[in-house]
Amino acid sequence: MKADRLLSALLLLQSRGRVTGREMAERLEVSGRTVHRDMEALGAAGVPVYALRGSRGGWQLDEDWRTQVPGLDEAELRALLMAQPRLLGDARLAAAAERALGKLMASLPVSMRAQANSIRQRLHIDTTGWRGLTETVDALPVVQEAVARDRKLTFHYRKPDGERSERTVDPLGLVAKGSAWYLVANTTDGFRTFRVSRIDQAVVLATASERPAGFDLAAHWKTSTEQLRETRRRYVATLRVEARAAERLAMWRCTAPKAHEPRAAIDGWVTREVEFDDEDQASFVALGFGPRAQVLGPKSLRERVHADIRAAFAALALSGEEDRASGPAAISGADAPSDPSREQTPRGALRHDGRVRPASRGTTSPRPSRSAGLPRRG
């Protein structure tokens, strides 16, 4: 409806101050000509909206003019409560957002307040991964302060390879992607993106930061991520996997069915072209699936996986031989430990305990006779 579109345009102007005609058209999903007519309608209704000419032109409200924000409807309330403070990832920011949300709920009508409480009781967000991994965003409040106040920021940054460096940047904005926060900043080398979890010892400086005229954070992020996808080196491997294994593989890697292949083969196996970062990662994944995956290509990956499997079997066989060699049955003969009490002593010889070992039957050892000095019984 036109009334809803006019209200949306008014709120957009009030929150942004100045909006280009192209941006207004994209946000309202209308043509530029429709935006022009809507601005004329707002002006006719007494709203002080002005047209700005030139390459940076657009539409702007009078700075001293404000209107009362209308009440929330049910869909808007539900969407607002879905963005729970836990998603911020930092305890201090989450507490501040919780207080703000509490104030907002207190200002709601009684009927809508009860509905809001009911929605919150039925929604819980757990930001911790199943393996206990989560982003450490201790620097997020400091970074946010620098962004909000337009102040230069200095910090120590840790790259993925462990290299550390000290940076001083002009913060331009914060981006939340998944569970990770990123700082977009301007540096002496141009625009750079920093992962907040790798920022340490962040300090907001008193020097004002320089923000490029007309910088659009959302547009910059979209362009930079597209460039990253295009320039990132991709390694495509062709794997033949079980159907269930293919489902698990598609959960965390980009996969596509092999051309001209049915959805699932009769034997339950499917062929997939999978994108990896490099051959090391492809080999690791293929070996991890064990007998549920077969490498069809490239040839170098197939040969590498086969070599790793042969090496694993060789190591397993060697380990088994060592276990057998060190077992109780292997200890005998010269390898057995020496025990003086069990040493072999020639029959008739004096043993270490002072006793004479008796000679075995059939030997030529003389037996003592009674005439050899033994007394007779009288």
146-167 pLDDT, tens per residue?
999 999 999 999 988 889 999 9
Contact 10, 24 (CB under 8 A): no
User: Which tokens in the block code for residue 223?
Assistant: 């362009």
Rounded percentage of the chain residues whose pLDDT exceeds 70: 72
pLDDT band at 262 (very low <50, low <70, confident <90, very high): low
Rounded percentage of the chain residues whose pLDDT exceeds 90: 26
Residue 273 has pLDDT above 70, yes or no: yes
Q: Which long-range contacts (CB under 8 A, 24 or more apart) does 82-88 make?
A: 82/123, 84/123, 84/125, 86/125, 86/126, 86/127, 87/125, 87/127, 87/176, 88/140
CA distance 293 to 241: 4
135, 240, 231, 128: which is closest to 181 by C-alpha?
135
Q: Is 123 left (phi over 0), alpha (psi -120 to 50) or beta?
A: beta
2-61 maps to CATH 1.10.10.10:
yes
pLDDT band at 141 (very low <50, low <70, confident <90, very high): confident
User: What pLDDT was estimated at residue 205?
Assistant: 96
Q: Is 78 left (phi over 0), alpha (psi -120 to 50) or beta?
A: alpha
pLDDT band at 118 (very low <50, low <70, confident <90, very high): confident
Place of tokens 């920093």: 194
CA distance 93 to 85: 8
Query: Is the preceding omega at residue 298 within 30 degrees of 0, hence cis?
Result: yes
12, 34, 16, 49: which is closest to 216 by C-alpha?
16
Q: How would you class 135 by CB atoms within 10 Å of its CB: exposed for 0-12, middle for 13-18, buried for 19 or more?
A: middle
User: What pLDDT was estimated at residue 75?
Assistant: 76
Contact 322, 314 (CB under 8 A): no
Contact 175, 222 (CB under 8 A): no
Which whole number is the average pLDDT over 269-293? 90
Which whole number is the average pLDDT over 54-79? 72
Phi, psi at 91, each rounded to 5°: -65, -40
User: What pLDDT was estimated at residue 166?
Assistant: 95
User: Which tokens in the block code for residue 116?
Assistant: 């809001």
Q: Cα–chain-centroid distance for residue 18?
A: 38
Domain locations along the chain:
2-61, 74-121, 140-230, 235-312
Helix, strand, or coil here: 277? coil
**Which CATH number is 140-230 given?**
2.30.30.520
Residue 356 has pLDDT above 50, yes or no: no
CA distance 183 to 148: 12
Lowest-confidence region among 31-35, 63-67, 195-199, 283-287: 63-67
Which whole number is the average pLDDT over 222-249? 86
User: What pLDDT was estimated at residue 351?
Assistant: 45
CA angle 155, 220, 153 (to 5 degrees): 15
User: What pLDDT was estimated at residue 221?
Assistant: 93
CA distance 70 to 3: 13
CA distance 255 to 74: 39
Residue 36 has pLDDT above 50, yes or no: yes
